[in-house]
Structure 1
Amino acid sequence: MRLISSLARSGLVLAILGCASAFATDKVTVAVTAIVEHPSLDAARAGIKKALGDAGYKEGETLNFEFESAQGQPATAAQIAQKFVGENPNVIVAIATPSAQAVVSATQDVPVVFTAVTDPVAAQIVKDRDHPGGNVTGISDFSPIGVHLDLIREILPSAVKIGVPFNPGESNSIALLKALKDLAPARGFEIVEAPATKSADVAGAAQSLVGKVDAIYLPTDNTIVSALETILAVGTENKLPVFAGETDTVARGAIASVGFDYFQVGVQTGEIVVRILKGEKPGDIPVRNASGTDLVVNAKAAAAMGVTVPQPVLDRAKRVIQ
Structure 2
Amino acid sequence: MVSRKRLLALISTVVLSTILFMSCSESTKSTNKSNKIKIGVTQIAEHPALDASRKGFVDALASKGFNDGKNLEIDYQNAQGEIATAQTIAQNFVSQKKDMIFAIATPSAQAAFNSTKNIPILITAVTDPLKAGLVKDLSKTETNIAGTSDAAPIEKQLNLLKTLVPNAKNVGVLYNTSEANSEIQVAQVKEIGKKLGLEIVIAGVTNVNEIPQAFSSISGKIDAMYTITDNTIVSGMPILATKAIEKKIPIIGAEEGQINGGGLATEGIDYYKLGFQTGLMAVDVLNGKNIKDMPIETLKETQLVINEDTAKKLNIAIPDELKSKAKIVKGGN
Unaligned runs of 5+ in 1: 1-13
* Distance in 2 between residues matched to 1:244 and 1:182, nearest whole Å: 18
The corresponding residue for 2:131 is 122
Q: Is the 8 A contact 1:296 1:319 kept in 2?
A: yes
Q: Rg bigger for which structure?
A: 2
Alignment of 1:78-97 (within 5 A): 78-97=87-106
- Give per-residue Cα distances to partners, 1:3-27, cap 9 Å, x unaligned: xxxxxxxxxxx9xx99997875421
Unaligned runs of 5+ in 2: 1-20
Q: Is the 8 A contact 1:254 1:301 kept in 2?
A: yes
Secondary structure at the aligned position of 1:36 is classed as coil
Secondary structure at the aligned position of 1:94 is classed as strand
Q: Is the 8 A contact 2:260 2:329 kept in 1?
A: no
* Distance in 1 between residues matched to 2:79 and 2:205, nearest whole Å: 18
* Distance in 2 between residues matched to 1:201 and 1:94, nearest whole Å: 26
Q: Is the 8 A contact 1:90 1:277 kept in 2?
A: no
The corresponding residue for 1:218 is 227
Q: Is the 8 A contact 2:242 2:262 kept in 1?
A: no
Q: Is 1:70 matched with 2:95? A: no
The corresponding residue for 1:267 is 276
How far apart are 1:134 and its partner, in Å? 2.3
The corresponding residue for 1:169 is 178
How far apart are 1:321 and its partner, in Å? 3.8
* Distance in 1 between residues matched to 2:29 and 2:89, nearest whole Å: 32
Secondary structure at the aligned position of 1:30 is classed as strand
- Give per-residue Cα distances to partners, 1:31-86, cap 9 Å, x unaligned: 10010010110111111110111111111111101100000000011000100111
Change (3 A) 1:23 1:81: closer
* Distance in 2 between residues matched to 1:198 and 1:22, nearest whole Å: 44
Q: Is the 8 A contact 2:267 2:302 kept in 1?
A: yes
Secondary structure at the aligned position of 2:184 is classed as helix
Q: Is the 8 A contact 2:122 2:147 kept in 1?
A: yes
Letter paired with 1:259: G
- Give per-residue Cα distances to partners, 1:273-298, cap 9 Å, x unaligned: 11111111211111111232100000
Alignment of 1:165-244 (within 5 A): 165-244=174-253
How far apart are 1:312 and its partner, in Å? 1.8
Moved more, 18-27 or 224-233: 18-27
The corresponding residue for 2:166 is 157
The corresponding residue for 1:10 is none
Percentage of identical aligned residues: 37
Q: Return the match for 1:40 from 49, 54, 58.
A: 49
Letter paired with 1:278: N
Letter paired with 1:239: K
- Give per-residue Cα distances to partners, 1:128-178, cap 9 Å, x unaligned: 111211211110010000000100000011110000001121111111111
Q: Is the 8 A contact 1:238 1:305 kept in 2?
A: no
Q: May I ask how many residue pairs the two structures share in their alignment?
A: 308
How far apart are 1:30 and its partner, in Å? 1.1
The corresponding residue for 2:255 is 246
TM-score by length of 2: 0.88
CA RMSD of aligned residues (A): 1.9
* Distance in 2 between residues matched to 1:312 and 1:321, nearest whole Å: 19
Letter paired with 2:232: T
How far apart are 1:186 and its partner, in Å? 2.4
Change (3 A) 1:23 1:53: farther
